[in-house]
Amino acid sequence: MPKLKTKSSCKKRFSFTGTGKVMRMPAGKRHGMRKRTNKFIRQARGTETMTEVDTKIVERWMPYGR
């Protein structure tokens, strides 16, 4: 059987924890910080855990991620 390919965009955006959960960065922090409020920038720090429904989608895109 041929190997499955990982989506290149997922490599950059998602990572897996040791228990198999998917971590992601909050939305809206790629560019355009001047128009964002300081409160938004402060609250969008760090990473977040994805929901179970979204985790299944990302696992399909990253077959060897876990």
Give the structural domain span for 29: 8-61
Q: What domain count does the chain have?
A: 1
Instruction: Name the DSSP letter for residue 1.
Output: -
Residue 1 in any domain: the answer is no
Query: Tell me, what's the pLDDT at 44?
Result: 95
CATH number at residue 16: 4.10.410.60
On whether residue 66 sits in a domain, the answer given is no
Per-residue model confidence (pLDDT) at position 1: 85
Give me the pLDDT at residue 66, please. Answer: 72
Q: Please tell me the pTM assigned to this model.
A: 0.78
pLDDT at 65: 82
In a domain, 25, yes or no: yes
Instruction: Using 70 as the pLDDT threshold, list the residues of the chain that sit under it.
Output: none
pLDDT of residue 34: 96
